[in-house]
Chains A and B, each alone.
Chain A
Amino acid sequence: DTGVSQDPRHKITKRGQNVTFRCDPISEHNRLYWYRQTLGQGPEFLTYFQNEAQLEKSRLLSDRFSAERPKGSFSTLEIQRTEQGDSAMYLCASSHRDRALYEQYFGPGTRLTVT
């Protein structure tokens, strides 16, 4: 069990550019979640995958955001035409199907700064 990993850990981009983040969940976990965390706030839910299916999306997830989880393994979160308001920590979490109700394992996050 190597834990949830995220890449990159830090990303600085200019407004208007596209960025893509990657999350590798714990290998036997079939559920994957993306959250956004801004300074002084708790994580806010963005989207949820069960295997490769994206089953739930928050209203926070504008059309500029897209997430995928091909083959039900790693996931990517892409932000198109970044805005300064997108600056935040993007967290990924995963859970096992038998313990999904009460256990989520978080990755270290990707900190995005939009200049």
Chain B
Amino acid sequence: AQTVTQSQPEMSVQEAETVTLSCTYDTSESDYYLFWYKQPPSRQMILVIRQEAYKQQNATENRFSVNFQKAAKSFSLKISDSQLGDAAMYFCAYRMDTGNQFYFGTGTSLTVIP
């Protein structure tokens, strides 16, 4: 079974600093997709960044980047130059290449301190 683990229920970062959110997953598949979603308070979930498992290069989207370690089954999110608007719940998610289900972790609540 696929499981996604986020071991940091809460994290905080000073505005303009860098923070890294951790995620590990368990799978026996070789082809899959990994995602980070952001869920601001009382707002809908939006995709932050995605990584295809067959790609060795780590994905980057502006201030957001990932550290994808396939052998270790680790997928961390780095947020650089943190902004107040980054405060949200962040969910790591996994999807098999051949499946329809997304499997989500329990989330990390990020607080940005002015």
Residues of B within 8 A of A31 (CB): 100
Asked if A48 meets B106 with Cβ closer than 8 Å, knowing A42-B4, A102-B52, A106-B44, the reply is no
Is A45 interfacial (CB 8 A cutoff)?
yes
The contact string, 1 if C-beta is below 8 Å from chain B, for chain A 89-115, is 001000000001111111111000000
Across the two chains, which residue of chain B brings its CB closest to A6? B44
> Quick check: A106 and B46 within 8 Å, CB to CB?
yes
Across the two chains, which residue of chain B brings its CB closest to A41? B106
Q: Which range contains the number of B residues in contact with the other chain? A: 20 to 34
Chain A, range 45-86, C-beta contacts under 8 Å to B: 45, 48, 55-56, 58
Is B91 interfacial (CB 8 A cutoff)?
yes
Q: How many residues of A contact B (CB 8 A)?
A: 26
> Quick check: B33 and A101 within 8 Å, CB to CB?
yes
> Quick check: A102 and B104 within 8 Å, CB to CB?
no
> Quick check: B106 and A106 within 8 Å, CB to CB?
no
Asked if A103 meets B47 with Cβ closer than 8 Å, knowing A42-B93, A42-B107, the reply is yes
- Give complex CA distance A101, B100 in Å: 8
Closest-CB distance, A55 to chain B (whole angstroms): 7
Is B28 interfacial (CB 8 A cutoff)?
no
Instruction: Show the binding face of B for A, using Cβ within 8 Å.
Output: 4, 33, 35, 37, 43-47, 50, 52, 91, 93, 95, 97, 100-107
A sample of 7 more A-B contacts (CB under 8 A), given A42-B105, A101-B97, is A40-B107, A43-B102, A100-B100, A102-B52, A105-B47, A108-B44, A109-B44
Which 10 pairs, one residue from A and one from B, show the smallest C-beta to C-beta distance? A42-B104, A106-B45, A45-B101, A108-B44, A48-B100, A42-B91, A106-B44, A43-B104, A102-B50, A102-B33
